[in-house]
A and B are shown apart, each in its own frame.
Chain A
Amino acid sequence: MLKFALATFFFGFVILNTLLAQNAANTNTVILSGTVTSEAGELLNGVTVDVKSADGKSITNTTTNEKGIFIVNNLKPGSGYNFSFSYVGYETAYSRSFNVKEGIGNSMLIRMKQLSSNLDNVVVTALNIKRNPKSLGYSIAQVAGSKVNTVQTPNIISALSGKVAGVDVGNIANGVAGSKRIVIRGAASLTGSTQPLWVVDGILINSSVLGNGDAFGGIDYGDGLTGINPDDIESISVLKGNAAAALYGSRASNGVILVTTKSGKPGKNKMNVEISTSLLVDKLNDLTDFQKEYGQSSLISGNQRPVNQADARGTDSWGPKLDGKPTIQFDGVERPYSNADGNFKSFFRTGSTVTNTVALSGSSLNNNYRFSVSDLRNTDIVPNTNFNRTSLNGKVASTYGKLETEVILNYIYEVANNRLYTGGNVSNIFYSLMNMPANLNIATLKPGYNPDGSEFSYADFVTNPYFAINKEKETDKNNRLTGSVNLKYQFTKWLSARGRMTRDYYNFKRYSMIPNGVLGTGYLQGEMDQRTRENVENNYEFLVDVNPGLKGKFGISGYAGGNINWRTISQTSSSGNSFVVPGVYTFNNLLNKLPSTSESRQKTNSLFGSLELTYNKYLYLTFTGRNDWFSTLPVNNNNLFYPSAALSFVFSDAFKLPSWISFGKLRTSTAQVSGDASPYQLDLSYALESIQYNNTSLQVIGTSNIPNKNLKPLLSTDYEMGLEMDFFKGRLGFDFAYYNRNIRNDIAQSAVSSASGYATAVLNVGKLANNGMEVLLKGSPVKNNYFSWDITATFSKNNSKVVALGDGVKGAPIKLSGSKSAQVSIELVEGLPYSAIFGSTYLRDAKGAKVFNSMGLPIANTTQTYLGNGVYDKLLGFGNTFNYKSLSLFCLVEGKFGAKIYSESNATAVGNGTSKLTLAGREDGIVGVGVDQTGAVNTVKVAPNVLNTYYKAVANIAEDFIYDASFVKLREVSLSYKFPPTLLHKIGIANASVAVVGRNMLILHKNIDNVDPESSVNSTNAQGIERFVYPSTRNFGLSIKVGL
């Protein structure tokens, strides 16, 4: 009865209201129209427009059409209305107390801001499951696509530099297409990979380096990440801790980088076209400052000018003061003995990278799609060196009733020509350039070869750079096809199942050739290295998702699934040396053919699940569990279950806090992740040599590493705590995290005695600890309608420690790498941080004075000393964004601190007399400050004619060449301008922007002479050695984006 009465009353009320409204409409109403765009000027289709009266009564609601236009009828002139605009992925916009005028012409333009704060956003978490960031009990960093595609870099890793707290990006000096290094929260493996897992749209991407050099030389063939086109990136999520990454299992023990590419935007039957062009110019940043006062001489008794052609060969600059007198040179020609200068300028050219991307996207009711085609053309600062990439990407998502499908297909074709040899000496053009005595003019080395094609050079075992770039050849091609098919069936509102198949396939072919006539290499008749690597990684995933929603204050949801991961790598090599017919550089023309093939296969099966409990939308508790079965481990010991738990407490929602606190969240998590070994490490196996002896096959034990039948999975355990707070409606905020990660049973290649027959043994011995903290500070000191200033600062500190390297073994250090001079090695040593640099030091007496021998030369200690570590422990990123109307200025300053680097370039420069440090004693000789071997003050003078012996002795001691590798750089600058949409719409353009950009514009602080502190020889675990790598460059250019 009561129900009926109420219903009748309610019904009546509604009718009455409607009648009143009708009535009002009939009397003197006006129409208002408006346009809603994004900040970038894109017309937003489907924005919900809510209209309320001044007293809060709901008047009407509508949505914008594909032109971003909405129309509201029946508004009363003179009244104030409150408009609100809501749209997925954008901050809700308001227009309060909008006064409607009489007549026509009532219009408004609304620009909606894309969600950047993490308050109400969604983030992409493991397995591409979108979650509300509020609910996450662990740290996950989001980087917007615009942060990596305004100032573009060929390798996406470089674009992350300085932008995410706790992420150490190594901009290795191996050329634009070379591999870069990225380590999240410190190295998590002793001898295994420390690189995070890359997942692009759910597709696991193999980013292993395709060939690395080291101090002894080599070519870096990149890591395949150059294939990711920044223009396609919507956002990047960095999963730092184990809890965030646990669902990826073993591959995630170094963290995960999730790249989400752009999709077709919601909109009705309109095709969007995005065109972007980026041009970046690379200019040599010559940091060298060598002595230009004394010239070349290879005489044993230095100090005299060369008198014949033989004496005029060599990298030694121990000759007399440059005086302009005609003096014979390496080619037998007499030239003035004077500073040639400008060799670097004349050798290097201006490089450039041009990227063009065209993307088509759109959506209809049940479909959305995006296709893009992109082309990158790079020319290096070294002549004849270049890198090109062409990619095609397609993404189509459809809904058929309860079935949702998504198909992604990417094809990437990359070609690199003449990647350069770095490190080492022969073949390395940088070695040659950096060691040129001051009086040699590089023009005299042109064209690098004699009329018969054979090389000539100014010194033995020093490659003529022009020979290298004109006669030697390197080219590689990578064909990569990645794709996935995703099917999701929504049984009910709360139950769905998802099946997914992903595949990453690439075929990498490389060819390098050194022709006959080369000098200084092992094969004077030339050599050739030709390889093909085929990589396949398939994943088959199945997942059931249950999400019944809130039941009162409590919520429960979860999913469970399984995954099969299958990886194969097959390689063929057709290499050899000594061309029979000069000038024919094919495999068939080789005198010694050394073909070989190899294949590696591994499989991991997994079951996993996640359970999320919610209380009152402010307390979230998430549990995950995963069990992996590894094919690379012994069958009886090949699986491990590992759990994670994460708690998020949004206390700003739980308690009433002062109004200036807009958001507060406390989070904590703990998790384990397991890992396996590389394939074929369990049993001894025999390999056949690639060459036969008089038709007899030669067999050897195929490894210098002792296999281990008793391996078990490694285990990484971490916990983290974090606090996120925003104040003053988001004007100020911070995110603080503390983490602690321990790896035990790490499967490491431990050093063993050679007398065992092997160099290393694969053992579950490693214990490694990392702990540290990360701070993200955000602030908007100024924010008004015309001008805003946003600051984002990140700081992180990581403490790494090698805890144990063996049980009974007494922790024999693991040598990761060494300098070519043998004066320095990079080691893992118990009790020391990761990548410890050990090097030779001066022999000193009890008081610390250097000891000199009877000839006045410094003496080195026979054992090497710990001199610092090669990985940075403190990272700083400081980004400022200034917006004034349509102008936006972004600048990023990056600093890295706490690492040392051994500079072999500087040591060599002292040893051969090009360094400015060697000017002391040129005229009068030098007396080393210290004591002699009896303990008395050293008085032995090293005469000018044997000064080289003194400096060569100094160069052979590492101590003086260990530099603080800390630096501060102005990493990125961009000034962008967005053209006003009103103007653009007239010419049929939805949005357009142009930016002037710069990268690595300034080195604000460094402590190392002649080279860039970021000159590590490679991107491997062993950091801390520099030796004749790429010089640093400054990049600047233009970026244009147009949307139709």
Chain B
Amino acid sequence: MKNKFIQQSLLVSLLFIVVMASSCSKGFQEINKSVDFVSDPNLDFLLPSVELNMLDRTYYTQGDFAAPLVGQVTQGKTYATLIAPGGNHGYHFDWVYQNPLKSVADLIDHSKTDPVKVNYLSIGRIIRVYLFSLLTDVYGDVPYFEANQGYTNQAYFPSYDPQQKIYEDMFKELQEAGDALTPGKTVPTASSDIVYKGDITKWKKFANGMMLRLGLRIMNVDAVNGKKWIAQAITSGLPAGNQDNFIVTYMPSSYYGVTQNGQPHIFIRYFNNYRLTAPFVDSLKIKNDPRITAYCMLPGSTSAYVAGDKTASKQKGYPMFGSIAETKSNFSVGNINTFGRYEAPYIHLSYAQTQFQLSECVVRGIITGDAKAYYENGVRAAMDELKIFGAEGVITTAQATAYLLQNPYNPLTNDDALQLINTQYWIETHFNWYETFANMRRSGYPKIYNQFTDGTVLPRRLTYPLTEAATNPHLQDAIKRQGLDVVTSRVWWDK
């Protein structure tokens, strides 16, 4: 009796153990497959999120640092505070790598092996160049060739590449990707390509616009290549009008997220804090610029972001750095009906910009042509493009003509010409402050830092995120090449 029990119990437990052991991992793969996520991406869902995320949704770096340093928006921080390394200087770095570049690298990975998807691939490559140009222009040397391979190659600490090498590759990419755009192959749908609605000829123009922008950027250090790529861009076809502008339109709602333009947050949320600066407001006011009412208004309240007086003559800019005793209510903020909306569109590259660049190219003898005509095209386009910001952004042809009559293009010297052209560029890139910052450093205009005598000068870059110093040993290579991680070190093209 007793033995039988032992036998039975042993048998039962043995059986149990055997059954358990043999089936211990049964179905585990299925269990560990998330039901909320999918393993394979849909390129038509990836592309629009890439395009929306090309703009850093936060204001931490652009609104808080780039905007005051280019003299357009301030929250009253001192120059010393703004140029101190660390803080949110590096937020943009984290944003671009971890959001749009991560997705675009993935878009490229998932389209490169399929010849039918060559247009997706090319669009991905062009956007990738745009994003890297933002990074390298702001910081200098950045991880490029090994970047965004954290999952695919376990590249947790990518090497920093010299800016010159990055530029070389960006030109190559723009050329190759532009050439590879093929009519007849699958194009993104109008709803997935929220910028150009799948129109690959526009993508090609955008690639060439970038080529012109980057070509001009390196003219001071590498005139040979600069000239070559500018010529190439012109040959391949530049944006021909505002219809070719690279504009991301955002959604009308107060939700502060992926479908919203995050930059106006500084005015909408911090209505008592951020102000347009004196150099910006004055540059419009002095020249009777009709754009002043599109850009500016006086705050209507201290307890909410509401419209106040929009009369041009009453607009007033706050000092560029530090704060003053006068109440902030007297100073202009962004117009609530144009730029001051979460759904405000964002212009990444415009026809006006290329016209100003061509005008400069003529002045500097890089190409031949009519500098004045390019300049005037640029000004008219820059005024016309504001209509995308709504009724209060509409500037008539007559207003533009009047402005040009009142402020004619008749420079006495090349420097005068470059000042005129690049000051227009500075105004036109309002809210696109990384580009404003890069172009100010490259061209030296407008000379808004001339007013300071206490050592306040235009910084030459922003500093890397502190986490890079803590995690990535390769950062030291970049510092060895381009100097200390401070705002006075110059990037390669900035000589």
| Chain A residues near B (Cβ < 8 Å) | 299-301, 310, 313, 460, 491-492, 495, 497, 519, 522-525, 542, 544, 560, 562, 576-578, 591-592, 594, 597-603, 605, 607, 629-632, 635, 638-639, 679-680, 682-689, 691-702, 704, 706-707, 750-759, 761, 809-810, 812-813, 815, 822, 862
Q: How far is the CA of A301 from the CA of B97 in the complex (A)?
A: 43
A682 near B85: Cβ-Cβ < 8 Å? no
Whether the Cβ atoms of B98 and A757 lie closer than 8 Å is yes
Contact of B150 among A313, A578, A601, A756 (CB under 8 A): A756
16 inter-chain pairs at a CB distance below 8 angstroms, sorted by A residue, are: A300-B324, A310-B302, A313-B302, A522-B269, A578-B254, A600-B34, A605-B24, A635-B29, A679-B31, A680-B37, A685-B37, A694-B191, A699-B49, A706-B150, A755-B143, A759-B94
> What A residues does B471 contact at CB under 8 A?
751-753, 809, 812-813
Which residues from chain A contact B79 at a C-beta distance below 8 Å?
none
A1028 to chain B, nearest CB (A): 21
CA distance A497 to B16 in the complex (A): 12
Please, how many angstroms separate the alpha-carbon atoms of A638 and B41 in the complex? 27
CB proximity to A under 8 Å, residues B91-107: 93-94, 97-99, 101-103, 105-106
Interface window among B4-12, B122-130, B173-181, B226-234 = B4-12
Given that A752-B150, A758-B150 are known contacts, is A810 also in contact with B473, CB under 8 Å in the complex?
A: yes
Q: Which residues of A contact B303 (CB under 8 A)?
A: 519
Q: Which residue of B lies closest to A840 (CB)?
A: B86
A757 with B157, Cβ < 8 A, contacts A310-B329, A638-B25, A751-B470 known: no
Question: B85 — nearest CB in chain A belongs to which residue?
Answer: A862
Q: Of A491, A591, A631, A706, which is within 8 A of B253 by CB?
A: A591
Q: Are B157 and A592 touching (Cβ within 8 A)?
A: no
CB B219 to nearest CB in A, in angstroms, measures 28
Q: A residues within 8 A CB of B258?
A: 689, 691, 693, 698
Q: Indicate if the CB atoms of B143 and A592 lie closer than 8 Å.
A: no
Do A754 and B467 touch across chains, with their CB atoms under 8 A apart? yes
A524 to nearest B CB, angstroms?
7
Contact A693 B46 (CB under 8 A): no
Closest Cβ neighbor of A810 among chain B residues:
B473
Top 5 nearest A-B pairs (CB, nearest first) are: A756-B150, A685-B37, A699-B45, A755-B143, A757-B102
Let me know if A460 and B2 touch, CB within 8 A.
Answer: no
The answer to whether B25 touches A299, judged by C-beta atoms less than 8 angstroms apart, is no
Beta-carbon nearest neighbor of A497 in chain B = B9
State whether A638 touches B28 (Cβ < 8 A): yes
Q: Does B457 contact A (CB under 8 A)?
A: no
User: Complex: how many Å from CA A684 to CA B38?
Assistant: 9
Other than the given A691-B257, A701-B103, A755-B142, 8 more pairs (CB < 8 A) read A313-B302, A524-B304, A629-B24, A693-B259, A698-B49, A701-B106, A753-B158, A753-B472
**B39 part of interface (Cβ distance < 8 Å):** yes
* CB-CB under 8 A for A761 and B87, given A562-B20, A699-B49: no
B35 interface residue per 8 A CB criterion: yes
Residue of B39, B194, B253 touching A592 (CB-CB under 8 A): B253
Report how far A752 CA is from B102 CA in the complex, Å: 14
For A757, give its contact among B5, B45, B97, B468 (CB under 8 Å). B97
Q: Is the CB of B151 within 8 A of A693?
A: no
Q: Are B39 and A684 in contact (CB under 8 A)?
A: yes
Check if B28 sits within 8 Å of A629, measured CB to CB: yes
Chain B nearest CB from A748 CB (Å) reads 13
A631 touches B31 (CB 8 A): yes
Inside 8 A of A460's CB, which chain B residues have their CB?
272
Known: A310-B302, A680-B37. A755 touches B17 (CB 8 A): no
Most chain A beta-carbon contacts within 10 A, residue among B37, B148, B154:
B37
**Provided the pairs A592-B255, A761-B150 are in contact, do residues A300 and B325 lie with their beta carbons within 8 angstroms?**
yes
What B residues does A602 contact at CB under 8 A? 31-32
Query: Are A753 and B156 in contact (CB-based, < 8 A)?
Result: yes
A1043 to chain B, nearest CB (A): 42
Q: 1/0 per residue B241-279: CB within 8 Å of A?
A: 000000000010111111100000000010010000000
Q: How far is the CB of A601 from chain B (nearest CB, A)?
A: 5
**Among B34, B84, B194, B323: residue with most chain A CB under 10 A:** B34
Report how many residues on chain B are interfacial, defined by Cβ distance under 8 Å: 90
- With both beta carbons as reference points, the residue of chain B lying nearest to A696 in the complex is identified as B191
Does A605 contact B473, Cβ atoms closer than 8 Å? no
Contact in complex: B17, A495 (CB < 8 Å):
no
Point out the residues of chain A lying under 8 angstroms from B156, CB to CB.
Answer: 706, 750, 752-753, 756, 761, 809
* B48 at interface by CB-CB < 8 Å: yes
- Is the C-beta of B42 less than 8 angstroms from some C-beta in chain A? yes
Q: Does B413 contact A (CB under 8 A)?
A: no
**Given A639-B25, A753-B143, are A682 and B151 also a contact pair (CB < 8 Å)?**
no
Beta-carbon contacts of B176-194 to A below 8 Å, as 1s and 0s? 0000000000000001101
> What is the bound-complex CA distance between A670 and B41, given in angstroms?
48
- Chain B residues at the A interface, C-beta cutoff of 8 Å: 2, 5-6, 9, 12-13, 16-17, 20-21, 23-25, 27-29, 31-42, 44-46, 48-49, 52-53, 84-87, 93-94, 97-99, 101-103, 105-106, 142-143, 146-151, 154-158, 191-192, 194, 251, 253-259, 269, 272, 302-304, 323-325, 327, 329, 465, 467-468, 470-473
Least Cβ distance of A310 to chain B in Å? 6
**Shortest CB–CB separation between residue B275 and chain A, in angstroms?**
14
Chain A residues with CB under 8 A of B253: 578, 591-592
Complex Cα gap A813–B470 (Å): 7
Interface pair A629/B142, CB less than 8 Å apart: no
State A777–B16 Cα separation when bound (angstroms).
46
For the complex, what is the distance from the CA of A638 to the CA of B31, rounded to whole Å? 13
| Minimal beta-carbon separation of B252 from chain A (angstroms) | 10
B259 to chain A: which residues have CB within 8 Å? 691-693, 698
Cα A692 to Cα B259 in complex, Å, equals 8
Bound form: Cα–Cα A1013–B396 in Å: 65
Q: Tell me, in angstroms, the Cα distance from A380 to B323 when the chains sit together.
A: 43
The answer to whether A699 and B41 touch across the interface, beta carbons within 8 angstroms, is yes
Tell me, in angstroms, the Cα distance from A592 to B260 when the chains sit together: 12
Closest chain-B Cβ to A619's Cβ sits at a distance in Å of 27
One of A687, A698, A758 near B48 (C-beta < 8 A): A698
- Smallest Cβ-Cβ distance to B159: which chain A residue: A755
Q: Which of B194, B324, B470 makes the CB contact (< 8 A) with A696? A: B194
Q: Smallest distance from the beta carbon of A551 to chain B beta carbons, Å?
A: 15
Contact of B149 among A299, A544, A680, A757 (CB under 8 A): A757
Q: Is the CB of A751 within 8 A of B48?
A: no
Quick one: which of A562, A578, A692, A751 contacts B17, CB cutoff 8 A? A562
Q: Give the nearest-CB partner of A697 in chain B.
A: B45
**Nearest CB in chain A to that of B475: its residue:** A753
| Pick from A495, A638, A702: contact of B5, CB under 8 Å | A495
Minimal beta-carbon separation of A670 from chain B (angstroms): 25
A602 to B329, CA, bound (A): 57
**Chain A residues near B158 (CB-CB < 8 A):** 753, 755-756
Across the two chains, which residue of chain B brings its CB closest to A601? Answer: B31
Most chain-B CB neighbours within 10 Å: which of A694, A750, A756, A822?
Answer: A756
- Chain A residues whose CB sits within 8 angstroms of the CB of B157 once the complex forms: 752-753, 756, 809
Most buried by A among B106, B255, B325, B471: B471
Cβ–Cβ < 8 Å partners of B465 in chain A: 754
Q: Which of B36, B101, B192 contacts A598 (CB 8 A)?
A: B36
Tell me the nearest residue of chain A to B325, going by C-beta: A300
Q: How far in angstroms is the closest Cβ of chain B from A558?
A: 11
| A688 contacts B103, C-beta separation under 8 Å | no
Which of A597, A758, A810 has its CB near the most chain B CB atoms (within 10 A)? A758
Q: Are B467 and A560 in contact (CB under 8 A)?
A: no
- Beta-carbon nearest neighbor of A827 in chain B: B470
Bound CA–CA A679/B32 (angstroms): 6
> CA–CA, A577 to B45, complex, Å?
24
B47 to chain A, nearest CB (A): 9
Does B48 lie within 8 Å of A693, measured CB to CB?
Answer: yes
- Bound CA–CA A1026/B71 (angstroms): 37
Residue in B84, B103, B151 whose beta carbon sits within 8 Å of that of A707 in the complex: B151
List A contacts of B272 (CB < 8 A): 460
Taken together as a complex, chains A and B put the C-alpha atoms of A754 and B48 apart, in Å, by 22
